[in-house]
Each structure stands twice: as C-alpha cells, then as structure tokens.
Amino acid sequence: MRTHPGLFARRSWTCTQCRAHSSVGAQVRKAKTTNLPDAPARTRFAPSPTGYLHLGSLRTALFNYLLAKRTGGQFLLRIEDTDAKRTIPGAEQRLYDDLQWAGLHWDEGPVVGGPYGPYRQSERTALYRSHADKLISDGHAYRCFCSSERLDSHARHRSQAGLAPGYDRTCADISSEQSADRASKGEAHVVRLKVEGYPMFNDLVYGKTGQNKPNSNKLDFIDRVYDDPILLKSDGHPTYHLANVVDDHSMKITHVIRGTEWMSSTPMHMALYNAFKWEPPRFGHVPLLVDKSGQKLSKRNADIDLSSFKDGQGIMPATLVNFASLLGWSHTQKSDIFSLEELEKIFNLKITRGNTVVAFEKMWFLQKAHAQRFATNGGPEFEDLVNKVKASVEESHPPTTFAPLLQNRTLAEYITPLLRADAKSYTTASDFTARNATFFTTELNRETYISTSAAVPIQALHTAAAALSLVPPSHWTEEMHRFNINSYDGSDAVLLSESDAPVSANKLFKKELYHYLRWALSASAPGPGIPETMTILGRDETVRRLQDAKILTQDLVPSVGKRVPKSSKSQENDDRSWMGSLAPGK
C-alpha cells in the first residue's frame, strides 16, 4: 500500500511525551491545554442515594476531588436525595464509607459540615421553594395547575400524531393574582420554568455545546408546545434541576465535572442560571465508560458497585483510584502508576472526548504495581496487605501445616519478607497464598525432576546444594546466599559437548542449579528468588528440602560418570574456603 506523498510532509509526527518536553513553548502549550483554572476551584460530588458508588461515579468524584486539590480549592459532598421514593436505605452511609475508603475526603458536606450546609437536599426544601417563588415573581416561571389526566391526554394526542412531547402553556397565561390565589387555596400545582430558548455553553471537555434553538419546533404552527421543565413538583419538592442549580450557586461551586449523561440537562441548567441572573459554574462532562465491545458499562458487564472491587476482588484503594484516574484523563508522565497524593499534584483537565474503554487487565497491573510500592515503602498499607495474606493462609491451611515453618516467628513476621520478595506478583491475598503455597506446608508435591541440560551431572547439583547449606544460622541471610550462589563455580563438573561449546560451562551449570534449587525448595513454583526463598524458609527447612530433593534424584546418579576436565580455568579471586571440603576441586 502506498501512502499519500503529502500525508507526512505536512507535519512530522512527534509523540505526546516528546511534544510536552520539547522546546520553549512546552510550558505555554501546557497551560493552554490543561484547562486548569487560575483560581482555586470549588467542586462537588453530588450523588443520589438511589444506588451505590460504582466505577463511573468514583471517577466523577475523583476528578472533582483532584481538580479542587490541584488548584488549592475545596471539594464538597452533597447528597441529592430529592427522589425519596427511589432512595435506598443505607445507601448514603455506604457512599460515605466508600469515598473514605478511596481516600476522597470531602472538605464540606455531611458529617463534616461547612458554611453552606445543610448538605443534604431533603433538608433544604424551603430554600428551593423560595427560589421558585422568586422566579415566579420575576416572570421566569409560572404555576401550572393542569391535572395529570389533562397532561396525559395531551401527551397521548401528540404522540399519536407523531409529534414530540411538550407542554402547551395553558397555565402560562393565568394572571399572577389568580395564580397566587389558587395556590393559596391549596390547589395542586407544579412550577414550570418559562423557557424561551436554551443557551449554548462552553464545555471544558467538549467545547461549545448545546443546540441554541428556540423552544419550539417545525409543527408549532399547528400545535405549539414548549419544554417548560418542572422545577417544583406538586408535593412541593424540587426536581433535580432546580435543586442542583440552586445548590451549586449557593454553595459557590465554580466547576462541575459530571458524566455525559447529564450533558443534555446542562442547557436547561444554563437557562435557569440566566433566569436567576447568576454566573454559572464551568461544566466539564466526562465520557461514558464502555467495555471492550463498546457497550456502556453496566451492572452486567462490571460497572459494579465498589464493594465488589474492594471486598469481592480485594482491590486496594490505591489501585482503584489510580485505575479510575486513567479513565479518560491523559497525562504526559512517564508511567501510569500514581498514588492519590501524586495525582493531586499533576491532575489537569486534559480529558478525552469519546467513550472510554475500560480494560480490567490494567487494573490488575496497577494492583501489582501498588503492592510493590507498598512493599518497598512499608507503612500501614503494607501491614494491611500482610494481614490480608495472613487471614487467607489461616483460612486455607490448618495451623499444623505451617506451624513447623515459623520457627519462633509469628505468621505475620513469616509472611512479611515473603510478601516483600513477591509483591510484584500480588493480585489478591488468596492468589498470593496459592501461588506461594509451598511456604505454608512442609509437604511438597514435586514432579519428577527433569534436568534442562544433560551436561550437568546431578551429583554436581547435590554437591552445590550441600555447599549452600553449610552457611551457619548466624549468616543465613539473603545476601550471603546470593553471594554464595553467584561465586560458586561449577564449571569443572560440566560435561561440555561439541554443541555446548560456545556456552560458558559455568553459565550452563548456574542455569541448571537454579532450576534444580527451585524444584527442590518450592516444587518449581514461581515466587521469590532462591536466596529469598532460602532465607524465608530458614536453615532447617531449606536443608530438609534439599536433602529430600537429593533422595528423590538419587537414581539419576549414573553408576559410572565420565568427567571432561576443563583445561583453562582461572582460580583467581575464587576464594571458596567457606565451602570447606565441598568446594569443587577439593
């Protein structure tokens, strides 16, 4: 296939990272593209307690939190519980617990309070009513006394005629005196916003957005209808739109990051801000989360509530927060692994448009990366991991199976170095326990030993293993074993054939020795390296396993062995006196 000759001539391609780091304009470009406000942002997360926190809503909360932290502003939590019928008992508490688990502590909101409370909408009804009254008296809203029967029949009639739904504004012409009088006599009514058109708005992610069309359509000359959304319901409670706008204004919210599912409501919210003559906050809509086949993430395909990640799958908060941060946000850092504190320093509003594909492999990659980070740094997160593995071991193994291995160590003390050595492979506590099962039992089920090289006689491996066992308990350390294995030269024992010639005899021997030791010490299971394994198991258990291995491979010892002496081998710097009589060549 030929490419168009001019295609690459116009502008040479540079990767994002290089562009960010290149030349003088980088800083200017960065400021332009990150969309960060100059002043501290006040953001909020405004969940409805009609469900639990899931991956999508965690991401929304996180982006709002990070924007506030990055700009030195405040992050608020507001409970939007205007829909009492759909409220799930206990959901509010779960939201608090889940946000706290993720480390997204709010500066103002329920539990912690703040200057613009209460932060639960059900406790602010009077405020919404007074604002609805204000809109009525300013002529931006009106009371609608139409019965639901009338509205239903009007809607049916329009639907049968193939017309879009809408309200015919029957009640908009009722005089204000008459309207107030009917309301004061207790006549049921709603309050509608009188919408003449929806303004465009400049979305922080999507740019200029909205329809900017008047509140009418083509067939208006037959049967004119209007959107005129309901602000106050007949039970006197506000709709989401009124409460949301009044609260964002009265809580001095400067930036609203929310899912694209709310994008179609934003023009109406802009109309409300205009009616109140308030300056609206800046809106940024974050794209939909989809699975690999492009389906919206839902309960069926893993947009499950947080408990299934934290309790069900054992995902650590650092992992999930890092994973959520990468859903639609792009950065120019070298690695994708971020702690929450790091994210607070580097977050910006470079959010991708278009659906975000959620790949859960990435989550497991991050889980391992954070486990490794905790293992390196220590601290409460690492202790927490140790305790999780401990609980998993206790659950899966009777104490009698691992008690002989502890040797004056508590189970946690025994697990600590094991986790440190193999944290890079940690996914869940139970997987970790299964992967390292040979550390929790003295019964090893080794397969028959199969060597990788016929050139290395089994006796040479027995000799090396015995030599490695000679280290006294006082020197039984990882460093000592590593040094001993590295400095052990088994070349003399190797029966080099013509085809092996280019390979160094010692290299061949070492490869086989590692292979043998892993088989001997952990039945060939993956896991910590040999020096770490020997240290964790302790001297007695290591020696016992090496002896068992020797017995199991005894029949591989040939009755007559033939050695090919190596002619030129330097003995310089080769002090193996610590091996005593077992040192090769003695």
Of 119, 117, 120, 121, give the one whose Cα is nearest residue 129. Answer: 121
Taking the complex as a whole, how short is the minimal distance between the CB of residue 48 and ligand GLU, in angstroms?
A: 4
How far is residue 393's CA from residue 399's CA, in Å, rounded to a whole number?
Answer: 9
First CA to last CA across the chain, in angstroms?
Answer: 68
Query: Among residues 54, 131, 258, 285, which is the contact residue for ligand GLU, using CB under 6 A?
Result: 258
- Tell me whether residue 110 or residue 490 sits nearer to ligand GLU (CB atom): 110
285 binds ligand GLU (CB under 6 A): no
Among candidates 209, 207, 206, which has minimal Cα distance to 198? 209
Listed ranges 12-20, 35-43, 45-53, 123-131: which one lies at the site for ligand GLU (CB under 6 A): 45-53
**Helix, strand or coil, per DSSP, at residue 261:** helix
User: Is 262 near ligand GLU (CB under 6 A)?
Assistant: yes
Q: How far is CA 469 from CA 85, 473, 477, 493, 553, in A?
A: 71, 10, 12, 19, 17
550 catalytic, yes or no? no
String marking each residue 76-95 x if it binds ligand GLU according to CB under 6 A: ----x---------------
Q: Which two tokens stand for residue 289?
A: 């989360």
- Which member of 134, 213, 299, 569 is catalytic? 299
252 SS3 class: coil
Buried b (16+ CB within 10 A) or exposed e, 398-409: eeeebeebeeee
CB of 259 to ligand GLU, least distance (A): 7
**Residue 143 binding ligand GLU, by CB under 6 A:** no
Residue 5 tokens, joined: 């000759």
CA distances from 396 to 389, 399, 402, 426 (A): 10, 9, 11, 17
The binder of ligand GLU chosen from 41, 46, 171, 204 (CB under 6 A): 46
Say how far apart CA 481 and CA 535 lie, in whole Å. Answer: 8
73 binds ligand GLU per the rule CB under 6 A? no
When the beta carbons of 64 and 356 are compared against ligand GLU, the nearer one is 64
**Contact flag: residue 356 with ligand GLU (CB under 6 A):** no
Q: Does 244 bind ligand GLU (CB under 6 A)?
A: yes
Looking at the Cβ atoms of 48 and 433, the one nearer to ligand GLU is 48
User: How many chain residues touch ligand GLU (CB under 6 A)?
Assistant: 7
For residues 61 and 45, is the Cβ–Cβ distance under 8 A?
yes
What contacts 475, CB < 8 A, 6 or more positions away?
none
Structure tokens at 476: 């039984």
The residue within the footprint of ligand GLU, chosen from 42, 47, 67, 136 (CB under 6 A), is 47
Q: In Å, how far from its chain's centre is CA 329?
A: 12
**Residue 203 engages ligand GLU in binding (rule: CB under 6 A):** no
Asked if residue 48 binds ligand GLU (CB under 6 A), the reply is: yes
Q: Output 47 or 317, the one with its CB closest to ligand GLU.
A: 47
Residue written as tokens 């359509």? 217
Q: Minimum Å distance from CB 326 to ligand GLU? A: 21
CB 356, min distance to ligand GLU, A: 17
Which is closer to ligand GLU, CB of 46 or CB of 546?
A: 46
Enzyme catalytic residues:
299
Residues that bind ligand GLU (CB under 6 A): 46-48, 80, 244, 258, 262
